Amino acid sequence: MEFLDLLMLGFGEALNPTNLAFCLLGALLGTLIGVLPGIGPTATIAVLLPITFYLPPLAGIIMLSGIYYGAQYGGSTTAILVNLPGEASSVVTAIDGYKMAQNGKAGSALAVAALGSFFAGTVATFGIAIAGPTLSSFALSFGPAEYVALMLFGLLAATVLARGSVLKAIGMILFGLALGMVGIDAASGEERLTFSAIELFDGIDFVVIAIGVFGFTEIIENLENVEARGVLVRKLSRLWPTREDFRKAWPAVLRGTGVGTFLGILPGGGATLAAFCAYSLEKKVAKDPREFGNGAVQGVAGPEAANNAGAQSSFIPLLTLGIPSNNMMAMMLSAFIIHGITPGPTVLQTQPQIFWGLVASMWVGNLMLVVINLPLIGVWVKLLTVPYRLLYPAILLFCCVGVYSINNRIFDVVLAAGFGLLGYLFRKAKCEPGPLLLGFVLGPLLETNIRRALVISQGSPSVFVERPISLVLLIATAAMLVLMVLPSFRKTREEAFQEEEA
Amino acid sequence: MKNLIRNTALATTMLLGIGAAHAEWPSDRPIEMIVAFAPGGGTDVMNRTLAPYIEKELGGKITILNRPGASGEIAYTALTQAKPDGYTLSSLNTPGYLTMQMDRKVRFDPKKLCLVARIVEDPGSFIVQANSPYNSLKDLVAFAKANPGKVTVGTTGLGTDEHLALLQLEKAAGVDLTPVTFNGANEARTALLGGHVTAIGINVGEFQSGDRSAFKSLGQFADQRSVIAQDLPTAKEQGFDVIMSSERGIAMGCDVPEAIRTKYSDAVKKALDNPEFQEKAKQQSLPLSYRSSEDWNKELPARAERLGEVWKLVKEQK
Amino acid sequence: MAGPRKAGGTGDRPDLLTAALFVGLGAVGLWAGRDLTMGTAAAMGPGYLPRIVCWLLILVGLTVGGMGLFRAREDITIPNLRPLAVILLSVVGFAFTAEYFGFVAASVWLLLIGSLADRESRWREVILLTAGLTAFGALVFIVGLGVQLPIWPF
């Protein structure tokens, strides 16, 4: 019963009018910046951090978290509508979500994303409440060797993201890995692949590549194919998912929630992996995997649920151990510290109202987001009926400002234009950018952890198979590789035969 | 270059009466404070917390501009390129500022950068899990002596202050420690909690601002015990000659009239003395340690020399 | 692009372009990282993995290209250089204008030049749109969300 008491305490805190108001404000702001491509929650929270000095601690933190998960909700909107993912996790949503929009099912995709996210948010919130401390101690058992195995698994899963040839997908992952290595190598202090540009010392920012290869390339491509964009407007029909959509999406949401909650706990990259893993899982269990990449509703539902569940559960290490699992959480940590609160086991004991109030507010915030977002779908879908010649300058402006705001420098904007050109060439070569981005995100994690694991084991590679979690993950990776390679070889052979006949 | 029209206007004022232009500083437009690190980091939060109190003393407005990258080199370069009119400042952190000059040719002229005020000096330290068998640096060294290479210590990269402290300890105690690189203190802390490394290097202030219940500190690498860690013995007290601390302060272009630099330095001093700010600093575990521009400028060469000695150890490792 | 063979109906052009891109990018990577130390598998230097990755990329490129040579002929959709050039020019121009002349000038440049990419653009619309979006951007991004960019050149 103690649990219920604590939860009641939390809701008592979350529902007090001040906290409620700031929760709403955060959720609204989050939706706004999520929808505006490029402007990310990290930058926004940074700007708002000083303002929270003047708020009561809990209200300030509730607002900032609202911005964070609100942005997760909003981020999928642009991914679906204009194929512009603002962060790693919505890269996946863009694949099938944008196709659905092109098929005239934008409303359906947006509704599935919102409802799936809400469900996942609810489950993950209660997950934090019930099992937070237990889960976080599991996350700690992930050492360098386990991360290496997990990243390999994730990279392999990335090849599933592409519709076309597996070989091209592997090439794109490799290129992504190389891009991820740009910058100063912490272990040796040497600069790598920077071409002596000081702006590249800290590596390339994810948003720069995403805006380049997705945002700019998409605009150029759309302007090139005058016929293609007419389709978008003409076939717009439904605002709400069909019964069939619901039937397909429901189990995907469940699976995505599980994957997301679990991976979100892992510090350093877990939450990013969530959406990718959920997508490959859906593609594996689907009766007809060919639907994926052509507007499969499961391809939106699973990753969106995973993404949101992961966003919620990434709070677990911060709240229970005092350790932020990503940049966003590091910002949250400074927000706590500014108010003289140091999250961690001590706070859990001495100031339970902070932990439980925040957890309860997350659920309240998620509810608000659904209420805000569902009616907005009508507006978003209308937006698609705006002629493209009026729409694309706006997207262009948002992209440019977004890229600039990452580090406040024009270098990034010019670099993004370069990636736009590269993305255009890749389109012409029929190479898809999804795997590139995943390789880019996971590459540095893979490399640092390989090197770390080998330093700790003093150079003995047996460390990867001696540790049980790592061994299990490696076996799973190998099994998946076999499963993938067999049918894909068969498929290319079939294709080759068909071509010969034709 | 950047603010063509603004500068022309300023130049005109200067021509009309140099004295008048000085007298007006800094009330006619906001002062731009370049922070060399991303928003939300320690340096950023410190400067954002302090800025309103400096504003109060100066009677001008301060806007914060984050120019993160290359451990501050981007910000320092921007500062040396700015008009020397006293309207641009930058954060300045050691040892990063000093070590970057040892390692490679930097893109700015360090002679053009003048220190204005030091705000914080945060000594380094090694921490271990709370239930670890080691209670002091001596314990750790004793184990490392018996088991060369077995002790793994998390750092945030080659040449960072934790790594330099590790090298000094190796030399002072004649042991072999294994540095493991992490991307930032938080990642290192996670690995320590999970028992994947024996100890990690972390600054005292940084350590104290987080939840400490699962860790204990083995000693601080300060000359004298830091104001925020009066109970923690220094390495010197334990018999090891290890001194490593990071400083955070403010810099301006040297071409800025000295009167302005001193005025700013004094304003920082007054802001640091404000009890309201001290309360905030305590909450954030900021080890405040003011130095005027004059004093800091005097101290820095000695610090650079000592770092240079340690840096030779890095070179040997490569 | 690698020169496709003229032999009859073979040669998958997108695959050949892929090969050229992968091999080219891999080679650039190898060149940029030519001075990095390799190290050993147990103590990897900074150049170890970059080199492996770049060679693998080249290898994949060659395989894709080799297979593409013998595939049935497929052409690349004809590129239309106008949108490509105009969009890239407008973005790069935005960057430099923003640095020296502030947000308003940069936004106007971006939207006016960017609108040239589409032949359907009508001047009255473009001007209204530019004015509206610039005002919106200045208010929302710079005043509202605090993007650190001056609005005016002074």
pLDDT in tens, B57-74: 988 889 888 888 778 888
CA C132 to chain A, closest CA, distance in angstroms equals: 10
Give the mutation candidate from C76, C145, C148, C151 for the A interface (greatest A CB count, under 10 A).
C145
B7 close to C (CB below 8 A): no
Strand, helix or coil for residue A365:
helix
| CA pair distance A438, A427, nearest whole angstrom | 17
Helix axis angle, A270-285 relative to A298-313, nearest 10°?
Answer: 150
Quick check: B284 and A324 CB within 8 A?
no
B2 to chain C: closest CA residue: C100
| CA pair distance A467, B215, nearest whole angstrom | 25
Over 60: is that where the pLDDT of C147 sits?
Answer: yes
The residue-averaged pLDDT of A131-159 equals 83
**Where a domain ends, among B204, B221, B245?**
B245
Q: Report whether A176 contacts A295 (CB < 8 A).
A: no
pLDDT in tens, A178-207: 999 998 887 777 888 888 888 888 889 888
B70 and B26 assigned to the same domain = yes
Q: Report whether B288 contacts B138 (CB < 8 A).
A: no
Chain B CB contacts of A410 under 8 Å are none
Quick check: B73 and A267 CB within 8 A?
no
Which pLDDT value is given to residue C143? 84
C110 to chain A: closest CA residue: A397
pLDDT in tens, A349-399: 888 888 889 989 999 999 999 998 888 888 888 877 788 888 889 889 988
Indicate the residue of C99, C148, C154 with minimum beta-carbon distance to B6: C154
CATH number for B58: 3.40.190.150
Give me the residues of B, 59-98, that contact C with CB < 8 A: 65-66
Q: How many other C-beta atoms lie within 10 A of the C-beta of residue A166? A: 18
Which pLDDT value is given to residue A237? 56
- Tell me the domain boundaries of chain C: 13-70, 81-144
Chain C CB contacts of B65 under 8 Å are 148
CA B48 to chain C, closest CA, distance in angstroms equals: 14
CA B288 to chain C, closest CA, distance in angstroms equals: 29
Q: Which of A58-62, A390-394, A405-409, B133-137 has the lowest mean pLDDT?
A: A405-409
pLDDT tier, C3 (very low <50, low <70, confident <90, very high otherwise): very low
Comparing C143 with A485, which gets the higher pLDDT? C143
Which pLDDT value is given to residue C99? 85
Quick check: C42 and A459 CB within 8 A?
yes
The residue-averaged pLDDT of A423-427 equals 94
Paired residues of B215 in beta bridges: B129
In 3-state terms chain A splits into helix, strand, coil percentages (rounded to 5) of 80, 0, 20
Q: Which of A4-8, A238-242, B30-34 has the lowest mean pLDDT?
A: A238-242
B299 close to A (CB below 8 A): no
Q: Report whether B68 contacts B106 (CB < 8 A).
A: no
Q: Which of A403-407, B191-195, B259-263, C7-11 has the lowest mean pLDDT?
A: C7-11
Inside any domain, residue B316: no
Inside any domain, residue B317: no
Which pLDDT value is given to residue A118? 92
Which pLDDT value is given to residue A89? 74
Quick check: A429 and C21 CB within 8 A?
yes
Over 70: is that where the pLDDT of B8 sits?
Answer: no
Give the mutation candidate from C62, C90, C94, C125 for the A interface (greatest A CB count, under 10 A).
C94
A444 to chain C: closest CA residue: C49
Q: Where are the beta strands (DSSP E) in chain B?
A: 31-35, 62-66, 88-94, 113-129, 152-155, 178-181, 199-203, 215-220, 245-253, 288-292
Q: What is the DSSP letter of C12?
A: B
Q: What is the DSSP letter of C74?
A: B
**Where a domain ends, among B203, B222, B245?**
B245
Chain C CB contacts of B9 under 8 Å are 154
Which pLDDT value is given to residue A491? 55
The residue-averaged pLDDT of A69-82 equals 85
pLDDT in tens, B150-184: 999 999 888 888 999 999 999 999 999 999 988 88
pLDDT tier, A227 (very low <50, low <70, confident <90, very high otherwise): low
Q: How many other C-beta atoms lie within 10 A of the C-beta of residue B276? A: 11
Q: What is the DSSP letter of A294?
A: S
Which pLDDT value is given to residue A119? 93
Inside any domain, residue B318: no
CATH number for B166: 3.40.190.10
Domain count, chain A: 1
pLDDT tier, A104 (very low <50, low <70, confident <90, very high otherwise): confident
The complex's ipTM?
Answer: 0.91
Over 80: is that where the pLDDT of A41 sits?
Answer: no
B29 and B85 assigned to the same domain = yes
Residues spanned by the domain of A166: 2-501
B152 and B224 assigned to the same domain = yes
Helix axis angle, B275-283 relative to B258-273, nearest 10°?
Answer: 70
Domain count, chain B: 2
Strand, helix or coil for residue C41:
coil
CA A397 to chain B, closest CA, distance in angstroms equals: 22
pLDDT in tens, A317-360: 888 888 787 777 877 887 887 777 878 877 778 888 888 899 89
Comparing B25 with C17, which gets the higher pLDDT? C17
Chain C CB contacts of B66 under 8 Å are 148
Quick check: A397 and C37 CB within 8 A?
no
Quick check: A181 and C53 CB within 8 A?
yes
Over 50: is that where the pLDDT of A501 sits?
Answer: no
Residues spanned by the domain of B149: 122-245
| CA pair distance A399, C94, nearest whole angstrom | 11
Distances (CA, A) of C60 to A430, B157, C52, C64: 15, 33, 12, 6
pLDDT tier, B18 (very low <50, low <70, confident <90, very high otherwise): very low
Inside any domain, residue B34: yes
CA C152 to chain A, closest CA, distance in angstroms equals: 15
pLDDT tier, B1 (very low <50, low <70, confident <90, very high otherwise): very low
Instruction: Write out the two tokens for A413.
Output: 């904007």
Which pLDDT value is given to residue C2? 43
Does a cis peptide bond (omega within 30 degrees of 0) precede residue A56? no
Cite the DSSP H helix spans in B116-184: 137-146, 161-173
Distances (CA, A) of A351 to A11, A57, A164, A312, B292: 15, 12, 53, 21, 40
- The greatest distance separating any two alpha carbons of chain A, rounded to the nearest whole angstrom, comes to 75
CA C9 to chain B, closest CA, distance in angstroms equals: 52
Which pLDDT value is given to residue A86? 67
pLDDT in tens, B202-249: 999 888 888 888 899 999 999 889 989 999 999 999 999 999 999 999
pLDDT tier, C128 (very low <50, low <70, confident <90, very high otherwise): very high
CA C53 to chain A, closest CA, distance in angstroms equals: 6
Indicate the residue of B183, B193, B280 with minimum beta-carbon distance to A321: B193
Which pLDDT value is given to residue B217? 95
Q: How many residues does chain C have?
A: 154
